[in-house]
Amino acid sequence: MAAAQGDAFLRARGRTLTAFRREDEYQWKGPFYFIQGADPQFGLMKSWRVGETDNGDDEWGEEIVLAEQAVQAINKLSPRPKFFVLCGDLIHGMPGIKAVFSGHYHRNAGGFYKGMEMVVSSAIGCQLGEDTHGLRVVVVTEDKIVHRYYSLNELSSRGIEKDLLDMLAKQN
């Protein structure tokens, strides 16, 4: 896979993955294939096996072996896939998790279940509700997690609110 060479995370710029050179990819050159994987969900297997959904997700060994097996299988393919994309739940949980942050709902939402907060942030792009285009700022201290959703206009004109900045200053 072309993106596997070097640091692929540094190759995404300006809505383009530079691992794919424009001059090579600009025109259709024939069929290709890619691999899509989903839900490695590190921690879920032990959690389900022991029936302990609150604290049983502290071991990832089985999922790591399977993820490595997936990479090895992909690397043996010939011809090689154009790229690999991993979707879905990357982790199930780990000890000490107090909040899960996600998107895809294209509006702000959330709730609590057994002390775990689910935070859904609205979209930078297309809005499906009444929320403005924006970003969520999340401040993590030793004692707590505080988050606020800001419209893009608010964040660019006013920045982060003083109380959140004060929380960051206390940590240094």
Digit-coded pLDDT (tens) for 110-165 = 999 888 899 999 988 899 989 999 999 999 888 888 999 999 999 999 999 999 99
What is the per-residue pLDDT for 163? 93
- Structure letter (DSSP) for residue 20: S
Token output for 153: 């206009």
Going from the C-alpha of 44 to that of each of 65, 69, 93, the distances in angstroms are 14, 17, 7
* Bridge partners, 148 (sequence order): 137
Task: For residue range 61-102, list pLDDT tens digits in order.
Answer: 888 899 999 999 999 988 888 888 887 777 776 557 788 888
* Bridge partners, 149 (sequence order): 136
- Closest listed residue to residue 138, CA positions, set 98, 111, 81, 90: 98
- Closest listed residue to residue 32, CA positions, set 82, 73, 74: 82
Task: For residue range 3-31, list pLDDT tens digits in order.
Answer: 444 555 566 666 666 777 778 777 888 77
Domain segments of the chain: what residues? 98-172
- Closest listed residue to residue 147, CA positions, set 132, 135, 131, 133: 135
